[in-house]
A and B are shown apart, each in its own frame.
Chain A
Amino acid sequence: MAVTDAPRIVTARLDHPDAHTLERYLATGGYEGLRKALTMTPAAVAAEVDTASLLGRGGAGFPAGRKWSMLKKDPVTYLVVNGDESEPATFKDHLLIERDPHQILEGVMISAYALGVTRAFIYIRGEFALGLERMEEALNDAYRYGAAGANIFSSGFSLDVVVHPGAGAYICGEETALLESLEGKRGFPRIKPPFFPAVIGLYGQPTVVNNVETMANIPWIVNNGGAAFAALGAGRSTGTRLFALSGHVRNPGAYEVEMVKSTFRSLIYAPTLGGGIRDDRELKAFIPGGVSAPWFGPQHLDLPLGQDEVGQAGSMLGSGSVVVMDSTTCPVRASWRITKFFFRESCGQCTPCREGSGWLERIMYRIEHGGGREQDLDLLMDVCDNLSPGVHWPPEQTTICVLGPSIPPSIAAGISMFRDEFLVHIKEGGCPYD
């Protein structure tokens, strides 16, 4: 089982219990990347990130370098870091924010220099109380150390950074909803076009929104060069990635793995990673990249952990969270719970999502709890079709943002992979796993 000896890029420091302190950060090469960047031109720094071919680590996987190049020229621009990690079973940003906040900050300072922004905001999910405290402390220390504020490391470059707490809303992880939230409003996603953040973002000004893990990769890229990063992985998926592994594995956890060179089988079964299925049970299914992703079965275990590879197989790496379900899992219950989540978190702007999520949740509930009807499977697919015409992958969209079309995949996957089990629920008037 292939687990390569690629360097750990974003988790290098995490064996130290005090990795979050400035002292440990400086003792382990911290802020060297920022010092180096400040001796380069902003364009040269951006070129390294472009060469690295770093794909955004939030979920959509858009190349960070290209995102940066799309920022409209304007005297007032912003960098906003998305630390609102709320995708179910995704817990990698939580780890990075709590355990190594300076690495994120250094990435922010370097990126802000490359982009020439006027201020940076780090939006952190409100439920991360400790993470917010760690980041605020790191920022205070960074100011004192001269790595933030006026005339950073006597380079003439100045930048203020603000840590902003969220208040509990999954949708704020969507970048335009996050900007609305940062402006003090409900987290309603904006319609695109025209509201592409790179053109019309925070307060209507051009804005780059990057994920926490994306930022955490930047110091290493500047220190080691974009080419060294691009030499890891393969194809479009370069570098390493932090995978959040949960569910029925022996060792759930966040593991940094070289992209493409490892497979789902390695991640789930390698003794140094997932360690295999708990109690040696059979694998039933797994979710390869967050609950918006179509599920995979045992036949997909040997797929490489690469964005295009997983995409071509009919799902996505998404947020990098892998949920393992063993033979004791009720697929109806699993997909009902995911549907309930979307119902609860739909912002309510668009009818197909607001109404459809509720209809789907109620139908799924009654199947799982003994009230299922014969025609319910067709009805489910019909509602899914209204949310995302054709119910294929990648999904069509009838709504302002991608939350709506994220609802059908778990239902469609459940029905197509485990139709018999859905029918048993309906025929026997209840869940056989109860």
Chain B
Amino acid sequence: MSHFNTTMATRARQLIALYPEPRSALLPLCHLAQEQDGWLRPEAMVEIAELIGVTPAEVRGTATFYDMLHTEPVGRYVVAVCTNIACILDGAAELLAHAEERLGVRVGSTTADGLFTLEESECLADCDHPPCVQVNHRFVRTTTAEQFDRFVDELAEGGHAEDIPPHGTLVRIRRSGGLRVDPAEIVRERAQAAREGAG
């Protein structure tokens, strides 16, 4: 029995087809599993392993290297506060302390209602809006404690649903088609061009 639902299973096959070797789809498939489940479940890792021809341990061993892949459950909203150099110069430590107090959890933990997970993040490349805050990898630009609180309240009341999908959904715009050029054909063509170029 497949862990991916029908839609996700189809998308998984389409993703694998984009790469010369199936294993390249490992990260995209992990994102896909997080989109379906909110986090990276062991059953999903087993299925990804089967799809790309590696062991489940290799999937887990790779996934745990990456900060965005969660092998334990996280909240519906993962709130990341950057404290790297540009942000720490402009109140990031204070904003992070405030976030802990407001959400009632320490960094790395999830609120009891399963709504919010708080993370201390490295630089998110939005340093002209410090301190930088992302919710589910969307830049929300709440740079003061007041703005942060308002945003959290709105999320808790079901707001921002259009802009911020539940954790795991990374990219909502899908590639509209597969490869358009036959890989074997393009290799033949390039080999011929190289020969002509050399001649």
Chain A contact residues, CB within 8 Å of chain B: 42-43, 73, 75-77, 85-91, 93-94, 116-119, 125-130, 132-133, 136-137, 139-140, 143-144, 148-150, 158-160, 162-170, 181-187, 203, 244-248, 252-254, 287, 291, 321, 323, 325, 329, 333-334, 337-338, 341, 344-345, 347
- Are the C-beta atoms of B68 and A127 separated by less than 8 Å? yes
A51, B128: Cα distance in complex, Å: 34
- Are the C-beta atoms of B128 and A139 separated by less than 8 Å? no
A222, B181: Cα distance in complex, Å: 25
CB proximity of A287 to chain B, nearest CB, Å: 7
CB proximity of B137 to chain A, nearest CB, Å: 4
Q: Which stretch from B27-35, B106-114, B154-162 is at the chain A interface?
A: B27-35
> What are 23 A-B residue pairs whose CB atoms fall within 8 Å in the complex?
A75-B187, A76-B187, A88-B85, A89-B84, A90-B123, A91-B126, A94-B125, A118-B186, A126-B31, A136-B173, A150-B180, A150-B181, A162-B19, A166-B66, A169-B67, A184-B24, A184-B25, A203-B21, A246-B128, A247-B89, A325-B89, A337-B88, A341-B123
Q: How many residues of chain B have a CB within 8 Å of chain A?
A: 65
A356, B37: Cα distance in complex, Å: 38
B118-133 vs A, CB cutoff 8 Å, 1 = contact: the mask equals: 0000111111111000
- Are the C-beta atoms of A334 and B88 separated by less than 8 Å? yes
A411, B66: Cα distance in complex, Å: 27
**Further contacts, 20 of them, CB under 8 A, given A86-B123, A164-B24:** A87-B123, A91-B125, A118-B190, A119-B20, A126-B27, A136-B175, A165-B170, A167-B68, A167-B69, A169-B66, A183-B24, A184-B25, A186-B65, A244-B127, A246-B86, A246-B128, A291-B85, A321-B127, A334-B89, A337-B84
B91-115 vs A, CB cutoff 8 Å, 1 = contact: the mask equals: 0000000000000000000000000
- Residues in chain A near residue B85, CB distance under 8 A: 88-89, 247, 287, 291, 323, 334, 337-338, 341
- Are the C-beta atoms of B21 and A185 separated by less than 8 Å? no
Chain B contact residues, CB within 8 Å of chain A: 18-21, 23-28, 30-31, 52, 54, 61-63, 65-69, 83-86, 88-90, 122-130, 134, 136-139, 170-177, 179-181, 183, 186-191, 193-194, 197-198
A334, B93: Cα distance in complex, Å: 12
Contact of A88 among B28, B68, B122 (CB under 8 A): B122
CB proximity of A265 to chain B, nearest CB, Å: 20
- Are the C-beta atoms of B170 and A88 separated by less than 8 Å? no
- Are the C-beta atoms of B122 and A126 separated by less than 8 Å? no
Nearest CB in chain A to that of B27: its residue:
A167
**Nearest 9 A-B pairs (CB), nearest first?**
A168-B67, A184-B26, A167-B66, A149-B180, A168-B68, A75-B191, A184-B23, A246-B86, A246-B127
